[in-house]
Amino acid sequence: MKILSRALFLLFVLFGVLMAVSNSQTVQLALWPLPHIIVMPVYLLVVGLLLLGVLAGLGLGWWAARHHRRRAREAGSEAARLEREVARLHGSLAAQQPAGAAVAATSPGQRAIERQRALVAPDLAAPAKRGPFS
């Protein structure tokens, strides 16, 4: 992917150089409400208009994505609120348990590994039973 992007960049640079060399004659640009006349090479006019088009496209894309950004922001705040609520409920559950029945503190990652191990190999999680042919 990196090679393709570099090759396309070099192709665009080559195109720009060829356009600048072949279109070096000057043109007069008069914008109606302004009293000034701007004299510039044709290639600068073309490159300027292309840059203006790219910036306009980026601006319109940013404007069109505002709804998605707002929904993502709202979903993030909702997820943070739910995380705080889960932590609060875990704290209240731990406070309700009697002191003698305290479960060994394990990390959430360790509990997830134990659940996965029980799902994958339930016979390893249960105590081994000795049969007549063991």
Look-up: residue for tokens 């396309």?
8
- Residue 99: predicted pLDDT: 58
Look-up: residue for tokens 């109606």?
32
Q: Which region holds residue 36: left if phi is over 0, alpha if psi is between -120 and 50, else beta?
A: beta
Q: ∠ CA(60), CA(66), CA(69), 5° rounding?
A: 135
More confident residue, 106 or 45: 45
> What average pLDDT score do residues 108-118 get?
79
* Interval 11-40: pLDDT, tens: 988 988 888 888 889 999 888 888 888 899
Task: List 41's β-bridge partners, or say none.
Answer: 26
Whether residue 67 is predicted with pLDDT greater than 80 in this model: the reply is yes
Q: What is the pTM of this model?
A: 0.52
> What average pLDDT score do residues 80-107 get?
78
d(CA 51, CA 29): 17
